[in-house]
A and B are shown apart, each in its own frame.
Chain A
Amino acid sequence: KAGVTQTPRYLIKTRGQQVTLSCSPISGHRSVSWYQQTPGQGLQFLFEYFSETQRNKGNFPGRFSGRQFSNSRSEMNVSTLELGDSALYLCASSLLGGSSYEQYFGPGTRLTVT
């Protein structure tokens, strides 16, 4: 089975711009979670989607949004980028989601905001 894929792998944006990141989960997995990873804060949960529905959201401002499509692929969007949004954005897919199932992480998208 192919693993989780994320595109693009690297991105450089300017403050104020917006960005869309994409994640394709493992075939058959219906849950996709997004995380922001920074050296200072570690892995922080952004949101989780299952069957096109957001089931939970982390403590991030409304500039961070996401969606999931009927084929389980997911996108996350960050609007009005700030310098502090520079991070590695990881998505993880899981069979059914939730804490009872292991998560398979993608390679991440490295976002740099200048």
Chain B
Amino acid sequence: GQQVMQIPQYQHVQEGEDFTTYCNSSTTLSNIQWYKQRPGGHPVFLIQLVKSGEVKKQKRLTFQFGEAKKNSSLHITATQTTDVGTYFCAGPDSGGSNYKLTFGKGTLLTVNP
């Protein structure tokens, strides 16, 4: 079945530094979603990317979907303490069902004020 790999597993930055997490799939994805989970919280949907090469921005967050639709990235410019949390990418399962989302293991971001 499809695996969604995320790197790095952990990232610690100083407030104001940039942060990037990468997501790679072993198969082509029809779309990819990104979620954020604050410590002690639950995942919250951030965005969905569908088109090859798509780039979407949400304030300081920039999301990209690779040309081959096998990878994606989330970049945060000038991190703030409110950005702390685990960022997950998720893609549809390639095993034939469109009703199953496979999540990467996430990147835990900590920000030193």
Q: Least Cβ distance of B9 to chain A in Å?
A: 10
CB-nearest residue of chain B relative to A47? Answer: B100
CB-nearest residue of chain A relative to B92? Answer: A99
Residue in A42, A50, A102, A107 whose CB lies within 8 Å of B99 = A50
| A58 and B33 contact, CB distance less than 8 A | no
Bin chain B's interface residue count.
20 to 34
Q: Least Cβ distance of B71 to chain A in Å?
A: 17
| A99 and B31 contact, CB distance less than 8 A | yes
Chain A residues near B31 (CB, 8 Å)?
Answer: 99-100
Which DSSP category, helix, strand, loop or mixed, fits chain A's interface?
strand
In Å, the complex CA distance between A83 and B88 comes to: 26
Number of interface residues of A (CB under 8 A): 26
Asked whether any CB of chain B lies closer than 8 Å to the CB of A48, the reply is: yes
Q: Least Cβ distance of A19 to chain B in Å?
A: 19
Q: B interface vs A, CB < 8 Å? A: 30-31, 33, 35, 41-45, 48, 88, 90-93, 97-106
